[in-house]
Amino acid sequence: MSDHPTEIDRFLEAVEIRVEAFGVCEIGRQFSLRCEPFKSVIVHFVLSGEGFMECRHGRFPLKPGTAVVVPKMLAKSLSGAGPVEHVEDAKADCTLQDDLVRFAACDGKVDLVLGCAELSSSVGGELPLFDQAKRPIIEHSDDPLLRALFTTMFDELRNPRLGTRAFVSALMKQVLIVLLRSQPDNDSSILLMTGARLAGVVAAILDRPQDNHTVDSLAAIAGMSRSRFSHHFTLAYDVSPKAFVQTARLASAARMLKGSDLPVKTIAASVGYASRSHFSRAFQAKFGVDPSAFRLPPAAGPH
């Protein structure tokens, strides 16, 4: 077995996905739903029917098993199979249940149904997963498991109960994994556009933040030249490799401060800081408080 699947596994273990809001789009055959740019990443998944998504990057076919990750601030339109004769602006038609909102562009007969989710996502709680994508990420899989995940997600959203948000967020991570599995040549646009091809580098930093990670050593893990690696890492995650190493070290230290009684000096050394004072300055710059103050329980309010 090659190292690559192991790296992807470790990368995916560090992926955190949270579904912030839900919606369903119902579109008639000759209708188009025009959507203004949104400040968050949106995922559309086709539940039934066929149609198209259009944006400045092109016109993309939609069918059951298709998932589309729409970057922030990208205007788009969703349409039925056509020809389009009616264009409507997206606005909430009604609230189905709690957080689930219905958007409709039809005359009563629905041709295309999509589930929609507003996402926040990251790797290790620090690297944005989809935020740097400039083009839509479009994947399709005929895997029946993907259809089952979409159906389960939609049923849960239509009938929310205890733990619905956590349950749907977990399902969305499974969707990501199924889509990656459906691309055996590892040329998935998700891999290309989320920086998951740098999975081995991210995993190495998260697994061992205390190591002496340099741009050269990380480039060697990625199998790239120093300049090419720096360019691709910064493009994917909007942060330099050196800055992410420090962020990962401080995030690991924060977890240890809250979860153990180890001395601050010991924690500093365990995440790669030879000097407690250097660690304290970096920690305060990141979190706004000294490490010792950070681990203290919040002060009780007035009785």
Q: Average pLDDT for consecutive 10-residue bins of the chain (303 residues)?
A: 61 83 88 90 90 94 91 92 90 60 87 88 79 83 85 80 86 85 65 76 88 94 91 86 91 90 92 92 92 75 48
Residue 2: predicted pLDDT: 47
Beta strand ranges found along the chain (DSSP E): 15-27, 31-35, 41-49, 51-55, 58-62, 66-70, 76-80, 86-89, 94-97, 100-105, 112-123, 127-128, 137-140
Cα–Cα dist 32/88, whole Å: 6
Beta bridge pairs of residue 104: 26
Instruction: Tell me 237's DSSP state.
Output: H
Q: What is the pTM of this model?
A: 0.73
Q: Are 74 and 84 in contact (CB under 8 A)?
A: no
Angle subtended by helix axes 164-181 and 144-158, to nearest 10? 160
Is the domain defined by 3-185 classed in CATH 2.60.120.280? Answer: yes
Pairing of strands 100-105, 94-97: antiparallel
Residue 130: predicted pLDDT: 82
Q: Are 29 and 109 in contact (CB under 8 A)?
A: yes
Is the domain defined by 208-294 classed in CATH 1.10.10.60? Answer: yes
* In the chain, where the domains are located: 3-185, 208-294
205, containing H or E segment: helix 199-207
